[in-house]
Amino acid sequence: MQPVVVQKYGGSSVADVERILKVADRIVATRNAGRRVVAVVSAMGKTTDGLVKLAHEVCDTPDRRELDMLLTAGERISMSLLAMAVRARGLPATSLTGSQCGILTNDAPGGARVVEVRPYRVQDALDQGHVVIVAGFQGVSYRREVTTLGRGGGDTTAVALAAALGAESCEIYSDVDGVYSADPRVVEDARRLDSLSHDEMLAMARCGAKVLAADAVAYARMHGIALYARAQDGRTGETIVRNNLPSDHAWISGVAARHGCALLRYAADDDVQAAVEAELRAANLSPIALITASSAAGEHTLLLGRDVADAVDPTFERCLATLQSQLGPALILQRGTLVSIVGPAVGREPGLLTAFRAALTASGAAADTVLCHGLCLSGLLGPADADAAVVALHRTFVQGGPWHTPVPS
């Protein structure tokens, strides 16, 4: 039986009819090369932004359930048009929504988590020789409510289907040709990374790198799915996210920045911790890092990052306001941009922290708080200092010197 490949096309890849036709050509070429194709699509260009704007013209704070119903319309437009384009090229094609292709989620509007995939209709269509076009970013809850999967949810859709179908690969197409060692708009010398481990890519995504969504990478890691980040425009470069990396893999992989972060400090008290956890659970927020104290005389430190702009969903700010109201002076809240270096050296090099602080100081930035979490060494800075700090950290840890030493084989 011919192998299955899952391809995901972002909003820029299907932004207009011309680009949709180019995607159809790529799908046909893949099918003619002897592979069955499942294509996951995002909404066209800025369609989602337009729908959000409409919602806020109707009311100041749209109901999250109704907003999910509205936003999922964008992907349905893309999938239908792409299916028509593939059919016009002589191949049978079937378009399916998230619920139709069996993506089951929990009941958390705006940021649902995939809990199971039952791809029976997808498999049936593939067995009939069809190309399957799937609306990304959406699923259905156990209560039969339409849900969205949060930022980067189309990537998660693609990875979840790749795992459920036993796909040969999962290809993520966007307007960039892979993952870079830093944001090229900030660092001129940023270089494309040929390969990353799932753990490194997950760390970079959680720290602000935007090419691949964190939830999608976590799902790929859990199911052993290799990800190929490629450019839709035909550039030959790519980044492969997989296990079993080459022996000359870099000691520090990259630098990332995540804006809109909040650091919370509060007493290590069981009742206070229970109140914080209850609010985070109600807001569907997960901490980036958590440092807990072992006694009532200590202090807990919690790092949160905002994934959705407040203009779309004010949940993040509402959660912080509620915690401030409940805890009062017992809560110390610090806001800023999280700037991080990511790689296997974190936790294995004793001089890393000193070099990290020195690079920040040289850039003119000051980090009152520095955290080591997983493969990340991060500092919370003022937003105005972030770009200069990223440039300095990239120069120190990625472009050369002892920190560029490959990981021993």
* Stronger pLDDT, 313 or 216, i.e. the higher one: 216
pLDDT for the residue numbered 244: 73
pLDDT of residue 248: 61
pLDDT bucket at 409, cuts 50 / 70 / 90: very low
Q: What is the mean pLDDT of residues 180-201?
A: 94
pLDDT at position 109 is 85
Q: Is 29 exposed, middle or buried (0-12, 13-18, 19+ CB in 10 A)?
A: exposed
With a cut of 80, say whether residue 201 has pLDDT above it.
Answer: yes
More confident residue, 269 or 182: 182
How many residues are present in the chain?
409
Closest CA to 388 of 362, 369, 408, 363: 363
Instruction: Tell me which of 400 and 77 has the higher pLDDT.
Output: 77
Q: How many CA atoms lie within 13 A of 126 on its CB side?
A: 25
**What is the per-residue DSSP string for 307-333?**
-S-TTT-THHHHHHHHHHHHHGGGEEE
DSSP line for 130-141:
-EEEEE-SEEEE
pTM of the entire predicted model:
0.89
End-to-end alpha carbon distance in the chain: 37
Tell me whether residue 31 is exposed, middle or buried, using C-beta atoms within 10 angstroms of its C-beta: 0 to 12, 13 to 18, 19 or more. Answer: buried
pLDDT tens-place string over residues 69-117: 999 999 999 999 999 999 999 999 999 999 999 999 999 888 899 999 9
Q: State the average pLDDT for the chain.
A: 89
Contact between 20 and 14 under an 8 Å Cβ cutoff? The reply is: yes
Spell out the residues 6+ positions from residue 402 whose beta carbon is closer than 8 angstroms to its own. none
Encode pLDDT of 359-375 as tens digits.
999 999 988 789 998 89
Two structure tokens written together for 271: 């009742």
Q: Is 344 helix (H, G, I), strand (E, B) or coil?
A: coil
Of 52, 7, 45, 4, give the one whose Cα is nearest residue 26. 7
Kindly report, residue by residue over 273-320, the tens digit of the pLDDT.
888 889 888 888 888 888 876 655 678 888 988 765 444 557 788 888
Q: Minimal CA–CA distance to 159: which of 216, 215, 210?
A: 216
Q: C-alpha distances in angstroms, 75 versus 100, 118, 174, 361? A: 13, 20, 16, 45
pLDDT score recorded for residue 61: 81
The predicted pLDDT at position 315 comes to: 78
| All structural domains of the chain | 4-175 (3.40.1160.10)
In angstroms, what CA-CA distances link 93 with 24, 127, 131, 232?
A: 11, 12, 5, 21
Instruction: Tell me which of 408 and 278 has the higher pLDDT.
Output: 278
Question: Which token pair is 53?
Answer: 């704007």
Buried b (16+ CB within 10 A) or exposed e, 198-229: bbbbbbbbbbbbebbbbbbbbbbbeeebbbbb
**Amino acid in the structure at residue 48:** T
Of residues 407 and 320, which shows the higher confidence score?
A: 320
* % the chain with pLDDT above 90: 63
Say whether pLDDT at 408 is over 60.
no
Residue position matching structure tokens 């919602």:
55
Average pLDDT over residues 122-143: 96
pLDDT at position 268 is 79
Q: What is the pLDDT of residue 281?
A: 86
Whether pLDDT at 256 is above 80: yes
CA 133 – CA 251 distance, rounded (Å):
39
Task: List, in order, residues 6 or more apart from 145 with CB less than 8 Å away.
Answer: 65, 68, 107, 109
